[in-house]
Structure 1
């Protein structure tokens, strides 16, 4: 009798897509797929306050109570687990891991918070030449890819790593990385940018999902409308 194994679901992996340029149509220079999807994601939204009303204008203050300057400031945090045990069991197939452990993987994530050494060199040369205005260094554009509904531009604001195990050469072979990110909106990008287009698509996806909820009634009941003021 032949035993038929159950169909295994095709799990999507979360990832960070790194773009060296904001130009629409550009391809990512790297896609950092998570070895294991984080078990949890924490998201926080806070209002982006509108400019304060003119002093003494009480009427304007009342009108501004529901006004905001733009989309809320959204932050995302997650913990990414990393292990080299599987690769170390087959060092001939994964020679880089056998030689360096998780150092390359950790460095890839850490460098998302660094300007390139080339940018730093340009800034140093500008300062040495006595330029009054020194161009600030740019970080790469990063998109968090978490399913088709969440492809969103982010800026890493915090990176914390706990290295939990080491090989005989003191290379880390098990680690937990806590990532904190700020979602970048159309207010942070120029009119022509991959990041701007990605955020607008992200907000439109939210609006579409909210419309599904309105039609399915998951969070509401039409009967409640009779209780609302008219």
Structure 2
């Protein structure tokens, strides 16, 4: 709680993991500190690999490929100064929050054991384990279904039991679109909502060539 009543409350970003069958949240991991910066790359999906095709030059075959890269930092040193108020961090350091983040990348033990049982029963083709749907939340205007493509943890300090107490997590994520998930999937609906918000933002920008000093174009 800040001692300055005029300071606005900072909204924290993070990840929400949704059950792949029901679409309900199963885990939420908030960033302790919001990223200082992020890099966003948008690669359009045009038609035809060769330039000069007049019929296809302006056509798009689907949503662009969009990726995010950012660093999220975590620090448990302040919590360790008050172990009674923060018993989880005092006993485990940052292991819980790091494990929660990594749960988006690992199949559960129960899923692995179920696959092993099916294989032992002679099932020739076992469907791959379906991971939770990962949703990247960067404020209300950016709620995106993503697939984490890069995940690097730099553990920078430890307590006497070698629990990490300061870490930087470097994340790369690709936005999942209706091409990946379909229009009726929970993630597909989230993507469409995000795209609608983007179109509303674009509508706030001046639209006429006169804003660029041109009488017409």
- Which TM-score applies when normalising by structure 2? 0.89
Partner of 1:8: 7
Question: Of 188, 211, 215, which aligns to 1:221?
Answer: 211
Per-residue displacement from partner, 1:3-49 (whole Å, max 9, x unpaired)? x95601111111211111354xx431121111111101110011234
Pairing 1:18-57 to 2, within 5 Å after superposition: 18-23=17-22, 26-50=23-47
- CA RMSD, Structure 1 to Structure 2 (Å): 2.5
CA–CA separation in structure 1 for the residues paired with 2:136 and 2:114 = 29
- Cα 1:203/1:102, change in 2 over 3 Å: same
Partner of 2:149: 157
Structure 2 SS opposite 1:131:
coil
Question: Of 84, 90, 104, which aligns to 1:92?
Answer: 84
Per-residue displacement from partner, 1:69-92 (whole Å, max 9, x unpaired)? 210000001100100011101111
Question: Of 119, 125, 135, which aligns to 2:111?
Answer: 119
- Contact 1:19/1:27 (8 A) holds in 2: yes
- Contact 1:144/1:154 (8 A) holds in 2: yes
Aligned length: 215
CA–CA separation in structure 2 for the residues paired with 1:117 and 1:62 = 53
Per-residue displacement from partner, 1:178-198 (whole Å, max 9, x unpaired)? 011110001111332210110
- Contact 1:22/1:141 (8 A) holds in 2: no
Larger radius of gyration: 1
Question: Of 70, 74, 78, which aligns to 1:78?
Answer: 70
Pairing 1:74-223 to 2, within 5 Å after superposition: 74-214=66-206, 221=211, 223=213
- Cα 1:225/1:210, change in 2 over 3 Å: farther
> Comparing both structures, which one devotes a greater share of its residues to strand?
2
CA–CA separation in structure 2 for the residues paired with 1:220 and 1:140 = 49
- Runs of 4 or more, structure 1, over 4 Å off, are none
- Contact 2:20/2:130 (8 A) holds in 1: no
CA–CA separation in structure 1 for the residues paired with 2:192 and 2:164 = 39
The Cα of 1:51 is off from its aligned counterpart by 6.5
Partner of 1:56: none
CA–CA separation in structure 2 for the residues paired with 1:109 and 1:5 = 32
CA–CA separation in structure 2 for the residues paired with 1:97 and 1:220 = 58
> Comparing both structures, which one devotes a greater share of its residues to helix?
1
